[in-house]
């Protein structure tokens, strides 16, 4: 199993010491070649769970009262920081909703890609640059040799998101975590970006796709989980069967609402 989340609970503690349980007894699995879509309303704990997998939650305030996150058999929650850094970016690629939150505004996009490559691969600067340019081309940035010199703010939102995808996928990660990868984009660009993600991730990798958009899940996911109030309330190994007959009343509401939006 590529990813196995066992009885995971994640809480946040505020300055007053109050504890907010954001994920409760979550169990999920993901194999190579699968796309696990996690859906649910805002605040249901989707990002908390997915960011925990790459241990990207700032801790404090986040802490882990119980559970395990086995990535290829290794418990991410017990991994020392240097080991964690080796895995993040290389074996686990992350694509966020907000490119400006994860691209540095101070550095040219080409340099940022090169830096990520050199952090993980024994490669000459020249070879790293070539790989970065290759990936800028793959994600559809026109004229990569020129555009690599751009700063993130000089690019459109859609272009920034493409750079993020290059960053997340270029080292061929075994696990891709995409948290609302297209939410900030126009509908037409959303489809392009999703297509790119589908084409460019390694075929035998696993993808954890977080979205509130059931349309995206029905296009991309091979299995799905519905979260509500920090818990996984329904899972389905067959998205088509889920859409045909969701079991939990809350899931039924989600599907009904998505249909209504579609008809508009
Ligand atoms: N840094 C934080 N400190 C304290 N509480 C947090 C923090 N991040 C998230 N939470 C809380 O944890 C709960 C789950 O939030 P989370 O961001 O995981 O939900 P989500 O499903 O990703 O929502 P969205 O669809 O809006 O992205 C919410 O109650 C939220 O307020
Ligand atoms: Mg979120």
Looking from the CA of residue 180, the nearest atom of ligand 1 is 27
Task: Look at ligand 1, atom 17, and give the residue with the nearest C-alpha.
Answer: 47
What is the average per-residue pLDDT within 31-56? 95
* Ligand 1 contact, 50 CB (< 6 A): no
The token pair at 63 is 């802490």
The token pair at 182 is 């297209």
Looking from the CA of residue 20, the nearest atom of ligand 1 is 5
Torsion of CA 133, 197, 68, 241, to 10 degrees: -170
* Ligand 1 contact, 97 CB (< 6 A): no
Distance 56 CA to ligand 2 centre (A): 13
- Which residues contact residue 29 at a Cβ distance below 8 angstroms, ignoring those fewer than 6 apart? 1, 3, 4, 5
Distance 5 CA to ligand 1 centre (A): 19
C-alpha span between 113 and 14 (Å, rounded): 35
- Tell me the ligand closest to 49's alpha carbon: 1
Task: Look at ligand 1, atom 22, and give the residue with the nearest C-alpha.
Answer: 47
Is a pLDDT exceeding 90 seen at residue 157? no
Looking from the CA of residue 49, the nearest atom of ligand 1 is 18
pTM of the predicted structure, to 2 decimals: 0.93
Distance 51 CA to ligand 1 centre (A): 11
Among 251, 205, 249, 186, which residue's Cα sits nearest to residue 225?
Answer: 251
Q: Considering Cα of 149, then 153, then 159, then 160, what sign does the dihedral take?
A: positive
- Tell me the ligand closest to 63's alpha carbon: 1
Residue 182: the pLDDT is 81
What's the pLDDT tens digit per position in 196-243? 888 878 788 999 999 888 888 988 899 999 999 999 999 999 999 999
- Tell me the ligand closest to 179's alpha carbon: 2
Among 75, 76, 51, 70, which residue's Cα sits nearest to residue 62?
Answer: 51
C-alpha span between 174 and 83 (Å, rounded): 16
**Confidence grade of residue 119 (pLDDT, cut at 50, 70, 90):** very high
Residue 264: the pLDDT is 65
What secondary structure does DSSP assign to the chain, as a single string? --EEEEEEEEEEE-TT--EEEEEEEEEEEE-TT-EEEEE--TTSSHHHHHHHHTT-S-TTTEEEEEEEEEETTEEGGG--HHHHHHHBTTTEEEE-S-HHHHS-TTS-HHHHHHHHHHHHS---HHHHHHHHHHHHHHTT-SSHHHHTT--GGGS-HHHHHHHHHHHHHTT--SEEEEESTTTTS-HHHHHHHHHHHHHHS-TT-EEEEE-S-HHHHHHH-SEEEEEETTEEEEEES-HHHHHH---SHHHHHHHHHHHHHHH-
Looking at the chain, the whole-number percentage of residues with pLDDT higher than 90 is 75
Question: Which one of 19, 47, 64, 233 would you pick to mutate in the ligand 1 pocket, going by the greatest count of ligand atoms within 8 A of its CB?
Answer: 47
* Ligand 1 contact, 20 CB (< 6 A): yes
The CA distances from residue 207 to 126, 229, 238, in Å, are 30, 23, 16
* Ligand 1 contact, 40 CB (< 6 A): yes
What's the pLDDT tens digit per position in 40-52? 999 999 999 999 9
* Ligand 1 contact, 12 CB (< 6 A): yes
> What domains appear along the chain, each with residue ranges and CATH number?
3-102+174-263 (3.40.50.300)
C-alpha span between 4 and 115 (Å, rounded): 30
At 116, give phi and psi (nearest 5°): -65, -45
Task: Look at ligand 1, atom 4, and give the residue with the nearest C-alpha.
Answer: 12
């Amino acid at each position: 199993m590529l990813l196995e989340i066992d009885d995971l609970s994640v809480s946040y503690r505020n300055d007053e010491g109050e504890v907010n349980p954001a994920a409760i007894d979550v169990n999920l699995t993901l194999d190579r070649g699968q796309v696990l879509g996690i859906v649910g309303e805002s605040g249901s704990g989707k990002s908390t769970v997915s960011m925990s997998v790459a241990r990207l939650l700032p801790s404090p305030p986040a802490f882990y009262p119980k559970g395990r996150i086995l990535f290829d058999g290794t418990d991410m929650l017990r991994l020392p920081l240097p080991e964690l850094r080796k895995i993040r970016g290389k074996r686990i690629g992350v694509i966020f909703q907000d490119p400006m939150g994860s691209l540095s505004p101070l550095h040219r996009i080409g340099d940022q890609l090169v830096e990520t490559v050199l952090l993980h691969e024994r490669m000459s600067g020249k070879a790293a640059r070539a790989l970065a340019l290759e990936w800028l081309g793959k994600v559809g940035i026109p004229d990569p040799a020129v555009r690599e010199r751009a700063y993130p703010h000089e690019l459109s939102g859609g272009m920034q998101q493409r750079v993020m995808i290059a960053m997340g996928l270029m080292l061929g990660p075994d696990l891709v975590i995409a948290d609302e990868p297209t939410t900030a984009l126009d509908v037409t660009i959303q489809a392009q970006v999703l297509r790119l993600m589908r084409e460019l991730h390694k075929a035998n990798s696993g993808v954890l796709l977080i979205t509130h958009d059931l349309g995206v899940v029905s296009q991309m996911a091979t299995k799905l989980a519905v979260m509500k109030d920090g818990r996984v309330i329904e899972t389905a190994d067959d998205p088509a069967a889920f859409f045909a007959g969701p079991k939990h009343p809350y899931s039924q509401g989600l599907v009904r609402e998505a249909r209504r939006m579609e008809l508009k």
